[in-house]
């Protein structure tokens, strides 16, 4: 019984293949008709149209999905469409994908003559006026009543052919609708880019610099200029360069993203083992980057699919592990947006890799998924970055508050020491004795110095209450006429460390760069 069912199914499929039904253009809306087309792979890559047109119907295979997927092998494919329309309308063949290396449309006109129209990224002329994002072929002269159109096509990266057969009115309405939505997506992406540029200028954080690189490389260059074909607006030569070396920009974008994710989540400290795995992925993307420069697309196509899926999933896993499980976002819920931002990217990557591997068929909405996932990711990741900055600012403010309280307590302590009246007379040390205590690194040095130079210490604290005890000690050394090297030997510090501490004291005391700090402090001690 099972054999009979298989035989019946085979006969039905064979009859449909031989029949090759006719598409009625007047009834056809703006949808992909890949299932209505028939396809044949030209393994020799040199078969002429006259020979292909003589093939029997069974030589062609019926389309399996709305969008034809010719794979990544760079083979030449022929597509055959049969259609019928009345004489009052002009049918148009619209291929909604600009990144096909070469397309040639063949058909016979009413006189039986062969008409050939060439297009594709490598068949464009310098004077062609192209907006993007596809190719339109008028089929008014096709032989009637049933017209046959053959399309020869090839793409070295990925051959995806969303093809539509429509009337002029349907085409104009659909193109206007499509080109009115795309600028909205690009406008949102541009606003996200401007936000990160502004935050980078304000904070100088490499987090924002790395995400700016991701937006430019993966969205504007890969998704807009490459996938949607708007690279043609920059000129055919630039568009062809982006087409040939598309994997270079993809690899560079994902290397920047891996660095961004590792830096944001501090994977080196939080997940050291996973951080090592990310380094392996960076090596893989680096290999793709190098191979793409030599146009080794047969290697880069396969590696890109694998690494694209692995990297996207690991972004999601690492963010869940650090932010959700380890509680990185307990005090700032906005950081949760970082996790949510990688969810649509991971889902879209799984779906697209399965589609490119022909495990599931391409659909009309497949193209928009990646764009939509990129926009959602950009918005949510931006919110997550903003939340992370708020978290850091909150921690810094708390630290500064604690420092201010500590400084106030120290100032009060010094004031109490200076104002306290003791029954014992104060033992005033000479400068020579204070210098000996300093060289000996006696713990009582600052106490003796404060007693001997109480007015000097008080004047310093009046000018800048924020001076730390170590900074007051450095001022005392300068008061005793120690030079920088002598201070470094006494404090067992490097000369550079002493210079850095002197620079901070200058800032707190308001001493400009042109004033000699030693002379300024000595003058202060004399006036006090």
Can you give the pTM of this predicted structure?
Answer: 0.67
Q: How many CB atoms lie within 10 A of CB 294?
A: 10
Claim to verify: residue 352 and residue 454 sit in the same structural domain: no
Claim to verify: residue 136 and residue 189 sit in the same structural domain: no
Claim to verify: residue 120 and residue 19 sit in the same structural domain: yes
**Domain termination residue (choose one: 378, 397, 416):** 397
Type and span of the H or E element at 92: strand 91-95
Residue 339 near residue 264 (C-beta atoms within 8 A): no
Q: Is residue 403 part of a domain?
A: no
d(CA 383, CA 360): 34
The domain total for the chain is 3
Q: Which residue has the tokens 């009246």?
A: 421
Structure tokens at 345: 């990217």
User: 498: closest CA among 506, 432, 456, 434?
Assistant: 506
**Domain termination residue (choose one: 170, 199, 214):** 170
Q: Where are the beta strands (DSSP E) in 120-264?
A: 135-138, 147-154, 160-161, 163-167
Q: Is residue 417 part of a domain?
A: no
**Domain residues for 327?**
179-397
Q: Is residue 416 part of a domain?
A: no
Claim to verify: residue 327 and residue 276 sit in the same structural domain: yes
Claim to verify: residue 288 and residue 389 sit in the same structural domain: yes
Half-sphere exposure in the Cβ direction for 48 (13 Å, CA): 3
User: 287: closest CA among 250, 242, 257, 317?
Assistant: 250
Q: Report CA-CA distances (Å) from 268 to 316, 335, 343.
A: 17, 19, 23
Q: Report CA-CA distances (Å) from 261 to 99, 207, 324.
A: 30, 9, 15
Claim to verify: residue 294 and residue 352 sit in the same structural domain: yes
Claim to verify: residue 89 and residue 197 sit in the same structural domain: no
Claim to verify: residue 10 and residue 126 sit in the same structural domain: yes
The confidence score (pLDDT) of residue 508 equals 85
Give the CATH number of the domain where residue 117 resides: 2.60.40.2380
Claim to verify: residue 148 and residue 252 sit in the same structural domain: no
The confidence score (pLDDT) of residue 483 equals 86
Claim to verify: residue 203 and residue 351 sit in the same structural domain: yes
Exposure pattern of 2-12 as b/e (b: 16+ CB <10 Å)? eeeeeeeeeee
Q: Is residue 421 part of a domain?
A: no
Q: Is residue 404 part of a domain?
A: no
Give the CATH number of the domain where residue 465 resides: 1.10.10
Number of residues that this document lists for the chain? 528
Q: What is the pLDDT along the chain (528 residues), one digit of tens a residue?
A: 444 444 444 334 444 344 566 776 776 677 888 888 899 999 888 899 999 999 988 899 988 888 888 887 788 999 999 888 776 778 888 888 777 888 999 988 888 888 888 888 877 665 554 555 678 888 877 877 788 899 999 988 888 888 888 887 787 777 767 666 777 888 888 999 999 999 889 888 888 999 999 999 999 998 888 887 788 778 778 888 888 888 899 999 999 999 999 988 889 888 899 999 999 999 999 999 888 887 666 778 888 888 999 999 999 999 998 888 877 767 677 788 888 899 998 898 888 888 887 788 777 777 678 888 888 999 999 888 888 777 666 766 666 677 777 777 777 777 777 666 443 444 455 677 878 787 878 888 888 888 788 888 888 888 888 888 888 888 888 888 888 888 888 888 888 888 888 888 888 888 887 788 888 888 777 776
Q: Is residue 520 part of a domain?
A: yes
The confidence score (pLDDT) of residue 528 equals 61
Q: Report CA-CA distances (Å) from 391 to 100, 173, 192.
A: 47, 49, 21
Claim to verify: residue 145 and residue 189 sit in the same structural domain: no
Structure tokens at 270: 């939080």
Structure tokens at 36: 């209505």
d(CA 372, CA 284): 27
User: 101: closest CA among 72, 139, 62?
Assistant: 72
Residue 301 near residue 157 (C-beta atoms within 8 A): yes
Q: Is residue 424 part of a domain?
A: no
Instruction: Identify any residues that bridge with 331 across adjacent strands, giving them in sequence order.
Output: none
Claim to verify: residue 336 and residue 263 sit in the same structural domain: yes
Q: Is residue 414 part of a domain?
A: no
**Domain termination residue (choose one: 397, 417, 452):** 397
């Amino acid at each position: 019984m099972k054999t009979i069912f298989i035989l019946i199914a085979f006969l039905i499929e064979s009859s449909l293949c031989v029949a090759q039904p006719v598409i009625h253009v007047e009834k056809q809306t703006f949808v992909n008709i890949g299932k209505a087309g028939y396809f044949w792979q030209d393994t020799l890559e040199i078969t002429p149209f006259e020979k292909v047109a003589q093939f029997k119907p069974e030589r062609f295979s019926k389309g399996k999905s709305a969008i034809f997927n010719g794979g990544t092998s760079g083979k030449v494919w022929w597509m055959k469409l049969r259609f019928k329309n009345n004489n009052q309308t002009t049918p148009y063949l619209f291929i909604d994908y600009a990144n096909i290396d070469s397309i040639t449309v063949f058909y016979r006109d009413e006189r039986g003559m062969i008409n050939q129209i060439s297009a594709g990224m490598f068949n464009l002329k310098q004077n062609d006026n192209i907006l993007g994002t596809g190719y339109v072929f008028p089929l008014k002269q096709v032989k009637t009543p049933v017209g046959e159109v053959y399309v020869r096509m090839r793409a070295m990266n990925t051959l995806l052919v969303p093809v539509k057969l429509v009337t002029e009115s349907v085409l104009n309405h659909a193109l206007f609708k499509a080109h009115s939505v795309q600028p909205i997506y690009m406008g949102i992406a541009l606003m996200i880019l401007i936000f990160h540029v502004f935050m980078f200028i304000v904070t100088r954080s490499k987090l924002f610099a790395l995400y700016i690189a991701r937006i430019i490389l993966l969205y504007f260059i890969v998704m807009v200029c490459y996938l949607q074909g708007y690279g043609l607006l920059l000129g055919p030569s630039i568009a062809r360069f982006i087409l040939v070396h598309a994997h270079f920009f993809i690899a560079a974008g994902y290397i920047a993203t891996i660095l961004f994710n590792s830096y944001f989540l501090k994977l080196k400290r939080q997940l050291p083992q996973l951080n090592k795995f990310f380094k392996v992925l960076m090596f893989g993307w680096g290999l793709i980057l190098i191979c793409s420069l030599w146009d080794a697309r047969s290697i880069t196509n396969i590696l890109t699919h694998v690494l694209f899926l692995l990297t996207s999933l690991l972004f999601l896993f690492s963010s869940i592990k650090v932010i959700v499980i380890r509680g990185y976002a307990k005090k700032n819920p906005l950081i949760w947006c970082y996790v949510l931002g990688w969810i649509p990217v991971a889902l879209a990557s799984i779906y697209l890799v399965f589609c490119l591997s022909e495990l599931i068929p391409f659909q009309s909405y497949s193209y928009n998924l990646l764009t939509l996932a990129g926009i959602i990711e950009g918005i949510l990741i931006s919110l997550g970055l903003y939340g992370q900055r708020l978290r850091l600012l909150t921690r810094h403010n708390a630290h500064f508050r604690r420092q201010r309280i500590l400084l106030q307590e120290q100032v009060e302590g010094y004031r109490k020491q200076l104002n306290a009246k003791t029954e014992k007379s104060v033992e005033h040390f000479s400068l020579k004795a204070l210098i000996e205590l300093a060289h000996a690194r006696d713990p009582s040095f600052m106490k003796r110095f404060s007693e001997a130079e109480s007015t000097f210490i008080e004047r310093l604290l009046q000018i800048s209450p924020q001076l730390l005890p170590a900074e007051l000690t450095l001022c005392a050394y300068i008061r005793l006429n120690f030079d920088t090297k002598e201070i470094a030997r006494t404090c067992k510090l490097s000369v550079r460390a002493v210079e850095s501490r002197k620079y901070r004291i200058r800032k707190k005391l308001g001493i400009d760069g042109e004033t000699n700090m030693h002379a300024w402090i000595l003058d202060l001690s004399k006036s006090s």
